[in-house]
């Protein structure tokens, strides 16, 4: 029995190695898959890092319309021009003139001071000013609004100090009355408060998921489209335990993607100065089930692909959806229950959540226990479904072959 067991193990390893070498040969002889696995996986993160190199949009041009023509309004304009977010490039006489500049794309915001602005401040009423922002880009709106808000807060403090001075309270006493509770504004996990640190880490993980998914599905579609089943999986292997075929293919993809994952998710965040405060050991332990779950998921879906070109359109269509389902762009707590549970089908959901928490927020592996366990569950579940679908596929091929022989006879 011992000898038979050893022979079975040796035979299984031989079969796995044969499938592994055949799969590597298919990958390196398919130009489209090579382009996706190696060029796209490395090029997309580099493009994202280069495009979003600067965290914030600075020095946006704005116009002011000052109908108040008072010292407080001119002081507000000078302070706003001094902020890093905006530059006051135009002083217009009417709103219509400023709107014309906005339509010509010469400015990204308008600040309007009504005539009664100074009078309201003098008599102690609430003064109003109007801010018009260019919403063609969220970053335009954010910069203009941030610059105006910071000046407004400083002006509010200055006005309060002046009113307390008129009432006879000056110095430290007035300061304490304005800020009764001192506080520090600390932006956790993104010191610059920028767009890059927020979005690019999630995109890096999604690139790994989508390129691996696309490449495996293209290879599976090629088998169906060109009838390469016998060349890819010899007849003698299809009559044995089908898990050997699945394991052999999985090892081939894993060996190719381990260095790619290390470059995209470990090296590039350090090269581009993205947050990377997590422990390297926890990150590596987490990325292992993410990679295995993505491979098993891709082979499961690939079993249904009949044409290699079809999956390209499907993958592109689902990329944005998966980004939203991950809970990075839109909070998962605000998602309807259906979409929240639907997102559990995709390894990218838990992979992006766990990667961002470990890499950008410094979480330990135990603090992403739910995502970690879900990835292992997905890896095991999709491995079993891959084996089942391969078994059904081989059985279908065998029945078709038998039917042809019967027709010939």
Q: What is the pLDDT of residue 142?
A: 85
Q: How many angstroms separate the Cα of 405 from the Cα of each of 228, 237, 252, 400, 401?
A: 19, 21, 35, 9, 6
Does the residue 326 lie in any domain? yes
Query: What CATH number is attached to the domain comprising 131?
Result: 3.40.1710.10
Answer yes or no: do 269 and 378 share one domain.
yes
Q: Are 296 and 251 in contact (CB under 8 A)?
A: no
Answer yes or no: do 208 and 233 share one domain.
yes
Q: In what order do the strands lie in the sheet with 86-92?
A: 86-92, 60-66, 109-113, 130-133
Does the residue 274 lie in any domain? yes
Q: What is the pLDDT of residue 38?
A: 92
Based on the structure, what is the number of domains in the chain?
A: 2
Answer yes or no: do 127 and 259 share one domain.
no
Distance CA(403)–CA(409), nearest Å, equals 10
**How confident is the chain (409 residues) per 10-residue block, as mean pLDDT?**
71 83 89 91 88 81 92 91 91 92 92 90 84 85 88 83 71 66 73 77 93 91 67 60 86 94 91 87 94 95 82 81 88 88 94 93 92 96 91 71 55
Q: What is the pLDDT of residue 244?
A: 85
Does the residue 385 lie in any domain? yes
Does the residue 174 lie in any domain? no
Q: What is the DSSP string of 46-106?
A: HHHHHHT-SSS---EEEEEEESS-SHHHHHHHHHHHHSSSEEEEEEESSHHHHHHHHHTTS
Answer yes or no: do 362 and 309 share one domain.
yes
Q: What is the pLDDT of residue 396?
A: 65
Does the residue 93 lie in any domain? yes
Neighbours of 328 (CB within 10 A): 21
Q: Which domain holds residue 148?
A: 60-160
Q: What is the pLDDT of residue 292?
A: 96
- Cα-flanking dihedrals φ and ψ of residue 377, to 5°? -65, -45
Answer yes or no: do 128 and 222 share one domain.
no
Answer yes or no: do 265 and 390 share one domain.
yes
Does the residue 76 lie in any domain? yes
Q: What is the pLDDT of residue 317?
A: 80
Answer yes or no: do 156 and 256 share one domain.
no
Answer yes or no: do 358 and 314 share one domain.
yes
Answer yes or no: do 94 and 204 share one domain.
no
Answer yes or no: do 25 and 78 share one domain.
no
Q: Where are the beta strands (DSSP E) in 93-144?
A: 109-113, 130-133
């Amino acid at each position: 029995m011992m000898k038979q067991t050893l022979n079975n193990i040796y035979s299984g390893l031989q079969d796995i190695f044969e499938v592994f070498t055949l799969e590597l040969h298919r990958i390196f002889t398919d130009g489209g898959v090579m382009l996706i696995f190696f060029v796209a996986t490395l090029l997309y993160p580099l493009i994202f890092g280069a495009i979003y190199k600067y965290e914030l949009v600075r020095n946006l041009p704005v116009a002011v319309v000052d109908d108040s023509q008072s010292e407080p309004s001119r002081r507000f304009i000078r302070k706003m021009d001094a902020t890093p977010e905006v530059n006051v490039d135009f002083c217009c006489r009417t709103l219509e003139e400023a709107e014309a500049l906005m339509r010509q794309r010469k400015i990204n915001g308008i600040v309007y001071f009504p005539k009664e602005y100074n009078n309201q401040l003098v008599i102690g009423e609430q003064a109003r000013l109007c801010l018009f922002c260019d919403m063609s880009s969220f970053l335009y709106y954010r910069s203009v609004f941030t610059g105006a808000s910071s000046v407004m807060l400083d002006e509010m403090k200055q006005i309060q100090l002046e009113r307390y001075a008129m009432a006879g309270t000056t110095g430290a006493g007035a300061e304490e009355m304005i800020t009764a509770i001192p506080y520090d504004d600390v932006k956790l996990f993104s010191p610059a408060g920028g767009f890059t640190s927020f979005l690019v880490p999630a995109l890096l993980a999604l690139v790994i998921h989508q390129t691996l998914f696309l490449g495996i599905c293209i290879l599976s579609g090629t088998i169906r489209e060109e009838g390469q089943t016998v060349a890819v999986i010899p007849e003698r292997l299809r009559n044995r335990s089908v898990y050997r075929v699945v394991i052999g293919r999985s090892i081939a993809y894993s060996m190719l993607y381990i260095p790619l994952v290390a470059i995209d998710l470990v090296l590039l965040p350090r090269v581009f100065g993205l947050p990377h405060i997590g422990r390297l050991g926890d990150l590596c332990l987490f990325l292992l089930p993410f990679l295995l779950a993505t491979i098993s998921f891709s082979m499961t879906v690939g079993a249904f692909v009949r044409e290699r070109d079809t999956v390209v359109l499907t993958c592109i269509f689902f990329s944005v959806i998966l980004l939203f389902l991950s809970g990075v762009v839109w909070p998962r707590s605000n998602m309807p229950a259906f979409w929240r549970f639907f997102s559990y089908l995709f390894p990218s959901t838990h992979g992006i959540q766990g990667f961002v928490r470990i890499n950008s927020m410094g979480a330990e592996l135990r603090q992403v226990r739910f995502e970690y366990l879900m990835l292992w569950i997905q890896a095991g579940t999709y491995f079993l479904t891959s084996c089942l679908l391969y078994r059904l596929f081989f059985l279908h091929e065998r029945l078709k072959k038998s039917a042809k022989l019967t027709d010939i006879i």
